[in-house]
C-alpha cells in the first residue's frame, strides 16, 4: 500500500526533524545566561567540590563531546538526570506525559468537534442570532490572554463557588486513600481537569469554527450541493453529508498549522492551573537551568506536534479520496 509507504516515509522525516530540533535545543540552552551549578551548589563549597559536581554532569567536557554524548543518550532513551530533582528525566517525563496528553488532546478533540459543528450550523443558517452570538463569544476567548481567562475562571469557579479544586490533577485525599475505587479516582481527575480543559477549549474553538464557517459558505455554492438539492435530499443530509464533509478539509489543514501555534496556550494553561504536565515542567525546568529536564520536555512537546501533523495528513487522505500519497 502506498499509504503505508507514506507513513514510513513520514516517520523517517519526523526522526530527522527531531535531530534538528535537538541540535537547536542544545545550542539554545548552552547560550542561556547563568550556570546550572549555581542553583544546586552551596556558595560555601570549595572550587574543587564544584569541579567534582560539574564533572559528574559532564559539564567539564568540551562542547562537541557534550553534544555527541547528548545525541547518543537520547537515542538510547537515556535523558540523563534532572539537576533539580536529582531523578532520571525519563521517570519525570513518564509521570507528566499522560497528564499533558489528556489535557491537550482532550482540548483539541472537544474544541474541533464544537468548532466544526457550530461552524457548520451558523453557515447553513447564515445571518442568524446564533452566528452573531457564537462568533462574538468565540472571538472573545480567542483574543483574550489564556492565563487571564484561566485566572478569572479559577477565581469564580474555584475560589468563589468552590466547584473545582484550585489546581493539580489528583486530590491527595482521594489518591492516598487505598480504599478509593477507580470510579472515585476518575471522578477526582475529571474534577481537576475540567477548568483547564474548558479554558483551553474556549481559546481554541473559535479558530476552527470560523474556518469551518467560511469553508462551508464556499462549499454551499458548489454545484454538487445543487445536485443534492435537485435529488430531493432533506436539508440535514445536504448539510452534513454533502456540504460539511467537503468543508471539513480546510479545517484539517489549519489543524496541522494550529497545533504548533497552540503549544504556548497549553504551557500557559498548565502553569496557570498548576497542572502537573509537560508544559508546566518546561517552565519550571527553564527557570532552574535544569538542562536535561527542559530538553526532554521540549523534545516531547515537539514530538507531540509532529505526531499531530502526521495524524492530520492521514486524516486528510482518509477524508479526501483525491489525495494520494
Partner 1 sequence: MKILEVNNLRMYFSTKKGDVKAVEGVSLEIGKGESVGLVGESGCGKTSIGISILKLLPDNGRILEGEILFKGDDLVPKPEDEMRSVRWNGISMIFQAAMNALNPVYKVGDQIVEAIMLHEEVSKEEAYERVAQLYELVGMSPERAENYPHEYSGGMKQRAIIAMALACDPDMIIADEPTTALDVIVQDSIIKEIKKIQAKLDMTMLYISHDISVIAETCERIAVMYAGNVVEYSDSVTLFASPLHPYTNGLLSSFPSIKGPLKKLNPIPGEPPNLLNPPTGCRFHTRCPFAQRLCKEQVPEFREFQERHYAACHFAGELSLR
Tell me which residues in 304-323 interact with partner 1 (CB under 8 A). Answer: 319-322
Cell numbers for 189, please give them.
481527575
In the block, which residue shows the cell 482521594? 174
Which of residues 81 and 242 has its CB atom nearest to partner 1 in the complex? 242
Which of residues 134 and 246 has its CB atom nearest to partner 1 in the complex? 246
Task: Give the Cα separation of 114 and 109 in Å (integer).
Answer: 8
Residues in the chain: 325
Which of residues 94 and 229 has its CB atom nearest to partner 1 in the complex? 229
CB count, 10 Å around CB of 232?
Answer: 6
Tell me which residues in 202-231 interact with partner 1 (CB under 8 A). Answer: 222-224, 226-231
Closest by CA position to 289, among listed 87, 39, 90, 67: 39
Query: From the CB of 233, what's the least distance to partner 1, in Å?
Result: 6
Query: From the CB of 319, what's the least distance to partner 1, in Å?
Result: 7
101 vs 109, 278, 304, 305, 317, CA distance in Å?
A: 11, 9, 9, 11, 24
Query: From the CB of 210, what's the least distance to partner 1, in Å?
Result: 22
Angle between helix 2-31 and helix 63-75 axes, rounded to 10 deg: 140
CB count, 10 Å around CB of 13?
Answer: 13
> Is residue 72 a contact residue for partner 1 (CB under 8 A)?
no
Please give the size of the binding site for partner 1, defined by CB under 8 A: 19
**x/- track of binding to partner 1 for residues 275-304 (CB under 8 A):** ------------------------------
**x/- track of binding to partner 1 for residues 235-274 (CB under 8 A):** -------x--xx----------------------------
Applying CB under 8 A, among 47, 182, 232, 236 the residue interacting with partner 1 is 232
Query: From the CB of 263, what's the least distance to partner 1, in Å?
Result: 31
Query: From the CB of 232, what's the least distance to partner 1, in Å?
Result: 3
Which span (32-40, 195-203, 232-240, 265-273) binds partner 1, by CB under 8 A? 232-240
Task: Give the Cα separation of 149 and 166 in Å (integer).
Answer: 14
In sequence order, the 6+-apart residues with CB closer than 8 A to the CB of 57 are: 36, 81, 83
Task: Give the Cα separation of 85 and 279 in Å (integer).
Answer: 17
Applying CB under 8 A, among 14, 144, 233, 256 the residue interacting with partner 1 is 233
Query: From the CB of 228, what's the least distance to partner 1, in Å?
Result: 7
Sign of CA dihedral 115, 117, 120, 123: negative
299 vs 26, 55, 238, 266, 302, CA distance in Å?
A: 11, 25, 44, 15, 5
Query: From the CB of 120, what's the least distance to partner 1, in Å?
Result: 15
Query: From the CB of 127, what's the least distance to partner 1, in Å?
Result: 10
Which of residues 95 and 320 has its CB atom nearest to partner 1 in the complex? 320
Return residues touching partner 1 (CB under 8 A).
222-224, 226-234, 242, 245-246, 319-322
Amino acid at each position: 500500500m502506498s499509504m503505508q509507504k507514506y507513513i514510513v516515509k513520514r516517520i523517517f522525516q519526523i526522526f530527522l526533524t527531531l535531530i534538528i530540533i535537538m541540535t537547536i535545543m542544545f545550542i539554545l540552552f548552552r547560550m542561556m545566561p547563568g550556570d546550572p551549578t549555581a542553583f544546586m551548589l552551596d556558595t560555601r563549597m570549595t572550587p574543587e567540590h564544584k569541579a567534582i559536581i560539574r564533572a559528574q554532569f559532564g559539564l567539564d567536557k568540551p562542547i562537541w563531546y557534550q553534544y555527541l554524548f547528548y545525541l547518543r543518550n537520547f537515542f538510547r532513551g537515556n535523558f540523563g538526570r534532572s539537576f533539580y530533582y536529582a531523578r532520571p528525566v525519563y521517570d519525570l517525563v513518564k509521570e507528566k506525559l499522560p497528564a499533558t496528553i489528556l489535557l491537550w488532546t482532550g482540548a483539541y478533540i472537544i474544541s474541533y468537534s464544537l468548532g466544526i459543528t457550530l461552524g457548520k450550523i451558523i453557515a447553513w443558517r447564515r445571518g442568524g442570532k446564533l452566528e452573531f452570538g457564537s462568533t462574538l463569544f468565540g472571538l472573545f476567548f480567542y483574543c483574550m490572554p489564556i492565563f487571564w481567562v484561566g485566572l478569572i475562571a479559577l477565581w469564580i469557579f474555584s475560589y468563589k463557588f468552590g466547584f473545582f479544586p484550585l489546581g493539580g490533577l489528583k486530590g491527595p485525599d482521594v489518591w492516598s486513600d487505598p480504599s478509593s475505587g477507580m470510579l472515585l479516582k476518575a471522578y477526582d481527575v475529571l474534577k481537576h481537569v475540567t477548568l483547564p480543559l474548558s479554558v483551553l477549549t474556549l481559546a481554541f474553538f473559535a479558530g476552527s469554527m470560523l474556518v469551518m464557517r467560511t469553508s462551508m459558505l464556499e462549499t454551499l455554492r458548489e454545484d454538487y450541493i445543487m445536485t443534492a438539492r435537485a435529488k430531493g435530499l432533506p436539508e440535514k443530509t445536504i448539510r452534513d453529508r454533502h456540504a460539511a464533509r467537503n468543508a471539513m478539509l480546510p479545517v484539517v489543514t489549519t489543524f496541522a498549522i494550529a497545533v504548533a501555534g497552540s503549544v504556548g496556550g497549553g504551557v500557559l494553561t498548565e502553569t496557570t492551573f498548576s497542572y502537573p504536565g509537560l508544559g508546566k515542567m518546561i517552565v519550571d525546568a527553564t527557570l532552574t537551568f535544569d538542562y536535561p529536564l527542559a530538553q526532554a520536555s521540549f523534545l516531547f512537546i515537539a514530538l507531540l506536534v509532529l505526531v499531530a501533523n502526521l495524524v492530520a495528513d492521514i486524516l486528510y487522505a482518509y477524508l479526501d479520496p483525491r489525495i494520494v500519497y
